Amino acid sequence: MRSITLSWPQPEQPNGIILDYELRYYEKDLTEANSTIMRSQTNTARVDGLRPGTMYVVQVRARTVAGFGKYSSKMCFQTLTDEDYKSELREQLPLIAGSAAAAVVFIVSLVAISIVCSRKRAYTKEAVYSDKLQHYSTGTGEGYSTSPSQHTKETLHPSIAEFVPSPSS
């Protein structure tokens, strides 16, 4: 780990409008004289260029038009060693892979549901058309029948009647 993002609360009673913040950090084994100073417009800052496996001390103060306030109390943090970082990454790898697999399954499921629903809709439209076609072809529509064995020549539609032999034949 070669960087860290720090956040801190705003002062409870600032001496005016806060213009920016000043951070001071240094390695704990060294003195404040060896500190690095950086500025931030917000109450969050990313500190880069840190050494792995090192304990650091950090302090923050706000600046208003009246000048700088007092530094906060000293806070310490330690960066991970390269080995700790790799180990932590290895521990998180199954979680990352599992999340990716779950996302793929979810997307495939959505696609499958979409396909099934669209086919069902198309089948329903086809079934309605088929029912209407069956209704007309079984003789239940418009008062005519296409089944000559059940009716006499006189009850058949004229276009069909000419092909049906008379009962006397």
pLDDT digits over 94-108, tens only?
777 788 888 888 888
- Among the ranges given (16-25, 28-37, 78-87), the one the predictor scored with the smallest mean pLDDT: 78-87
Band (pLDDT 50/70/90 cuts) for residue 157 is: low
pTM of the model: 0.50
Instruction: Give the per-residue pLDDT at 21.
Output: 97
Band (pLDDT 50/70/90 cuts) for residue 39 is: very high
Question: How many angstroms separate the CA atoms of 119 and 98, rounded?
Answer: 32
pLDDT greater than 70 at residue 44 = yes
pLDDT digits over 100-138, tens only?
888 888 888 888 888 888 777 766 666 666 666 665 555
Higher pLDDT, 84 or 18: 18
Instruction: Give the per-residue pLDDT at 152.
Output: 58
pLDDT digits over 140-151, tens only?
545 554 555 555
Higher pLDDT, 15 or 36: 36
